[in-house]
Amino acid sequence: MKTKRDLFMHGWRAALCLAAALLVCHARAAGDDLRALLDLGRPELRPVAEALERDDAAAAETALLAHWRARADAKAAWEKAKKRKPSDFDRKVADEALGHRFFSHAGYQPSLFYGKDIDWAYWPIKANELRFQLHRHKWFLPLLRMYAHTGDAKYYRAWREQWTDWDKKNPFPARTETDRENIRFAWRALEISDRLNGLPSQLALAVHAPDFTADDLVWFLRQIRRHGDLVWERRAERGNHLLFEMTRLLTAAERCPELKAAATWRANAIRTLKEELAKQVYPDGVQYELDLGYHISAMNLFRSAMDLAPEAFTPADRDKVGAMAAFAADLFFPDGNHPFFSDTHDLSGRRRTLREAAKAFPKAFDRPGFVSRAYPHGGFYVLREGPPETGSMTVLKAGPAAFWHNQPDNGTFSYWHARRDFFPDSGSYVYGGADTKAARNAFRATKAHSTLTLDDKNNSPGSKCVAWQATDRATTVTVETPAYPGLTHRRTLTLAKGGTLTIEDTAEGNATGTLAIRFCLPPGANPERLPDGSWRTRFADGNDIRLDFADAADWKAEIEKGWHSRLHNKKEPRPILKLSRAKDSAKSIHLTTTVTPLKDDK
């Protein structure tokens, strides 16, 4: 008969056996996880593979951490961050993040407080971009740069705690109805790709923290694999989003070749980018969203892909991206300003990338400088006269149908002379969201642009060029837009020597209603009607224009209040000169406008 002591010893031995078995199972599971995660055939992972051959998962993880700390990019990033003084931006957003004030978007400042217990669904301003971009974690790298430079572990701890908190509170797939609503923002492919793009750079710094363990590394490598797989699974159907996602997937494959999934990511990304280069870029080099800012982004993304995988792209592919760069450069005015067509914001910081592109694609930039050029597939027409220092430049937009970032603005134009765009387009101001939809629609509306409207309704796309002539004396372009049912808008622009711009507008068809032609002037224009019925601006610096109208007897002229936006969520008032009249029959209606530059004519 067994004594109590015998029973105790038996139970104790059984518990030890169970614990040992669990440890073995855990070790095997950890080893299986590493085998599924890593490409163990790579030479640099040989110590990891050898440890796994011995079923020593702990040693394998330790070897993996040693490898990651010794990687050239991790060592270089750490030394650079240690030595370089953090930027004012990095210091600001990192210090804000310590108190859970997160920098999501430059247009919504100051940064919002998301609570002591972080509420990642907090959304006080119903602007979609604010909530989307919260999930891009723009403050994570600044936290780690501050840690590397100062050695203060509070920055590292904040990064580590906020990452795990975000992962816990933003589940995918959804578990509740609240989760499902949040997935639209946190797990859109563009945001997934943005986080994927930041993770390798974060790891390159974080691995040097004494508190960063082998388990931490494996956790973050799993995050990279998960994000990469989800970028592909949830990728956008088209447009710049798809280009961002695929270029970031290719970048992750190049930066983390140790991951078994990297080869598949690379193949999928390259194939998709090559397909999209054929789909998204017209023969004249214009990207099909018809927005200069996103056009430059698309060009840069294709160029990055070519740098990462040069063998995958043909000389014809390179020529096409070179044409994209040359087109973008052509739309900038000599002083660095540019038209604000569609959703374009201030692009002054992008000119550097165009200068770099000119070096990368010299063939595309081997052409005369300040001359007129037409891009009929994309619907952009650049008219120039004189030398860039003293000449003039007009850009007309009248193109095919596009989508979200394009605006119903066919026929709108900019006129630049003496370092001023006298008819700057409205810009976009804001994107979507319950609190911003009305403002977005107001900036997008056809009546917010320098073109023709019928009853102030939005016009239709599908413009075509019917005439283009560039000579030493003048450049003339004529475009036709099926603007409204029963009404075609024909607009002819002629830019002549000396900077005189003539605009001939014809509205023809059986549609009736109120026609209006608007000239959207810059802030500070102070338009003034002269006794002869013409108008002029009154800028403080004396750099002005005069507008004369022919065939204008039945047109009523008045000044409307309009808006111009150069940056997201920022706008300033500007005057709009509006001419309107009734169209009550099928008879064609004409208006000829002459814009003449004035200088120091008080």
Q: Which residues are catalytic?
A: 294
> Cα–Cα distance between 308 and 300 in angstroms, integer?
12
Q: What are phi and psi of 436, to 5 degrees?
A: -125, -5
Q: Which region holds residue 384: left if phi is over 0, alpha if psi is between -120 and 50, else beta?
A: beta
Q: Please, are residues 230 and 236 in contact by the beta-carbon 8 Å criterion? A: no
- For residue 223, count CB atoms less than 10 angstroms from its CB and return exposed for 0-12, middle for 13-18, buried for 19 or more: middle
Token look-up 């990095």 returns: 90
Nearest alpha carbon to residue 400 among 290, 477, 294: 290
Nearest alpha carbon to residue 279 among 465, 403, 398: 403
Q: Please, are residues 322 and 306 in contact by the beta-carbon 8 Å criterion? A: no
Structure tokens at 435: 């609190």
Report DSSP state, residue 370: S
Structure tokens at 563: 């808006």
Nearest alpha carbon to residue 108 among 347, 431, 406: 431
The number of angstroms, rounded, from the C-alpha of 121 to the middle of its chain's C-alpha atoms is 23
> Cα–Cα distance between 195 and 162 in angstroms, integer?
13
Say how many residues make up the chain. 602
Residues with Cβ within 8 Å of residue 121, at least 6 apart in sequence: 178, 181, 182
> Cα–Cα distance between 570 and 278 in angstroms, integer?
36
Residues with Cβ within 8 Å of residue 31, at least 6 apart in sequence: 52, 55, 57, 60
Residue type, 376: P
Radius of gyration from C-alpha coordinates of the chain: 30
Largest CA distance in the chain: 124
H/E segment holding residue 24: helix 4-37
> Cα–Cα distance between 560 and 314 in angstroms, integer?
52
Nearest alpha carbon to residue 308 among 250, 258, 364, 366: 250
Token look-up 């009546």 returns: 447
Token look-up 């974080």 returns: 206
Structure tokens at 406: 């394009």
